[in-house]
């Protein structure tokens, strides 16, 4: 059983050694532990620090491509190098390295395919009350969108079995954390969470510049994932709402019409007709999107089989 711990990095020379030193060297049930960094266009000595420490693999980008792209590239590299379990952690030592054993244990026991570390949000001292509330709210929205019970959706401290990693896809360029939970929940991949610890803050987060920006990007990511994995439901609900608004205005016009004063409410009739047509068109778009989603599922299955064959070839070498 081979575990590869991957760390996305962007100008992490100052903190990377601290994070690497905290990683486990041995876990019961794991035969081999290796380490991989994704250098996402760093301008400092991140790669030099990693190589001097002794990481096994470096995925190198010449320019910054974003966390989501780096995460997927790391998964792909881990699979090609024979990983049975992949753990993703941060280069700023946010998470306690010893808790990696907690992450991989449910996978080793065959209970699940994805394990997400649940941070102690309410007791994290360097987080503001607003950030804590937003974390809880965001996780609640993701739970509803994904139909899962993951309490800490934005957590990047997570473990994937080979089977789960083979099926992962991320479309947005912002972050992988939310979309992958929605994807796993909607495609019925076994997933759970375990409580983990966090360390003190070594540097401010680079994922967002403001809370408003974070909330906006997160909501767009969730909505986009929902449109991708449940398009018929999403567009039908939206279309029915718009259609019903138009129908209500139409009944209002009819009421006045039969009262003999309909000529003064022609604007309502025009707006009602427009809204009803928009609602019907939105439902039709949902039907078309559902057909596209069916083709996407076929393509994802083909991608899974190709990735699996590549892994099996690598295992035989």
How many residues belong to the chain? 317
**Mean pLDDT of the chain, nearest integer:** 87
The answer to the question of residue 316 being in a domain is no
Contacts (Cβ under 8 Å, ≥6 apart) of 186: 146, 147, 229, 230
Over 80: is that where the pLDDT of 76 sits? yes
Whether residue 47 sits in one domain with residue 187: yes
What is the rounded CA–CA span in Å between residue 89 and residue 317? 28
Same domain, 157 and 278: no
Let me know the angle formed at the C-alpha of 238 by 235 and 244, rounded to the nearest 5 degrees.
130
**Domain boundary at 226, 241, 272, which?**
226
Q: How confident is the model at residue 296 (pLDDT cuts 50, 70, 90)?
A: confident
Minimum mean pLDDT among 41-55, 61-75, 203-217: which range?
Answer: 203-217
pLDDT digits (tens, 9 = 90+) for 240-261: 999 999 999 888 888 887 877 7
Q: How far is CA 109 from the centre of its chain?
A: 24
Whole-number pLDDT of residue 4: 96
Q: Are residues 260 and 136 in the same domain?
A: no
Do the domain assignments include residue 276? yes
The residue-averaged pLDDT of 225-234 equals 83
* Structural domain boundaries, residue 260: 231-301
The answer to whether residues 87 and 236 belong to one domain is no
Residue 267 lies in a domain: yes
* Predicted confidence (pLDDT) at residue 11 exceeds the cutoff of 80: yes
pLDDT at 9: 92
User: Is the pLDDT confidence value at 101 over 80?
Assistant: yes
- Give yes or no: residues 74 and 210 share one domain: yes
- What integer is the mean pLDDT of 222-244? 87
Specify if 306 maps to a domain.
no
Are 6 and 131 members of one domain?
A: yes
Are 275 and 259 part of one and the same domain? Answer: yes
Q: Which residue from 106, 114, 187, 107 is spatially nearest to 147, judged by alpha carbons?
A: 187
Q: Does pLDDT of 162 surpass 90?
A: yes
Helix axes 211-229, 231-258, angle to 10 degrees: 90
Q: Do 222 and 270 belong to one domain? A: no
Residues 18 and 140 in one domain: yes
Residue 90 in domain: yes
- 135: pLDDT confidence band, cut at 50, 70 and 90? confident
List the single range of 73-77, 165-169, 303-307, 308-312 with lowest mean pLDDT. Answer: 308-312
User: Could you tell me the CATH number of the domain that includes residue 189?
Assistant: 3.90.550.10
The structure's pTM equals 0.81
Give yes or no: residues 44 and 66 share one domain.
yes
Instruction: Output the pLDDT for position 17.
Output: 93
Residue 201: per-residue pLDDT: 74
One domain for residues 97 and 243? no
> Is 312 part of a structural domain of the chain?
no
Structure confidence at residue 178 (pLDDT): 84
Q: What is the mean pLDDT of residues 258-270?
A: 77
- Is residue 308 a part of any domain in this protein? no
In a domain, 167, yes or no: yes
Q: Does 118 share its domain with 245?
A: no
Nearest to 141 by CA among 151, 127, 155: 151
More confident residue, 125 or 14: 14
Whole-angstrom Cα Rg for the chain? 24
Which has more confidence, 228 or 42? Answer: 42
Q: Total domain count for the chain?
A: 2
| For range 7-23, the mean pLDDT | 92
Per-residue pLDDT of 171-219, as tens digits, reads: 777 778 888 898 888 888 999 999 999 887 766 666 556 666 667 777 7
């Amino acid at each position: 059983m081979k575990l590869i711990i991957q760390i996305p990095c962007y100008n992490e020379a100052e903190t990377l050694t601290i994070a690497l030193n905290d990683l486990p060297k041995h876990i019961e049930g794991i035969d081999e532990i290796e380490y991989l960094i994704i250098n996402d266009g760093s301008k400092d000595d991140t790669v030099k620090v990693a190589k001097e420490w002794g990481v096994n693999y470096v995925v190198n980008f010449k320019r910054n491509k974003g966390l989501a792209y780096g995460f997927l590239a790391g998964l792909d590299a881990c699979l090609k190098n024979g990983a049975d379990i992949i753990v993703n952690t941060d280069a700023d030592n946010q998470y306690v390295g010893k808790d990696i054993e907690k992450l991989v244990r449910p996978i080793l026991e065959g209970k699940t395919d994805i394990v997400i570390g649940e941070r102690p949000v309410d007791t994290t001292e360097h987080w503001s009350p607003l950030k804590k509330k937003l974390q809880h709210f965001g996780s609640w929205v993701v739970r509803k969108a994904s139909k899962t019970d993951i309490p800490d959706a934005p957590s990047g401290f997570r473990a994937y079995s080979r089977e789960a990693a083979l099926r992962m896809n991320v479309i947005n360029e912002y972050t992988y954390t939310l979309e992958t939970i929605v994807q796993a929940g909607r495609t019925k991949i076994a997933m759970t969470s375990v409580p983990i610890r966090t360390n003190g803050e070594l540097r401010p987060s680079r994922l967002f510049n403001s809370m408003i920006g974070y909330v906006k990007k997160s909501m767009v990511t969730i909505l986009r994932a929902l449109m991708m994995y449940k398009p018929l439901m999403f567009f039908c609900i939206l279309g029915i709402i718009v259609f019903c608004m138009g129908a209500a205005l139409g009944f209002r016009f009819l009421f006045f019409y039969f009262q003999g004063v309909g000529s003064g409410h022609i604007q309502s009739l025009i707006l009602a007709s427009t809204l009803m047509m928009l609602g019907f068109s939105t439902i039709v778009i949902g039907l078309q999107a559902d057909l596209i989603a069916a083709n996407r599922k076929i393509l994802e299955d083909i991608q899974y089989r190709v990735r699996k064959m590549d892994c099996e070839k690598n295992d035989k070498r």
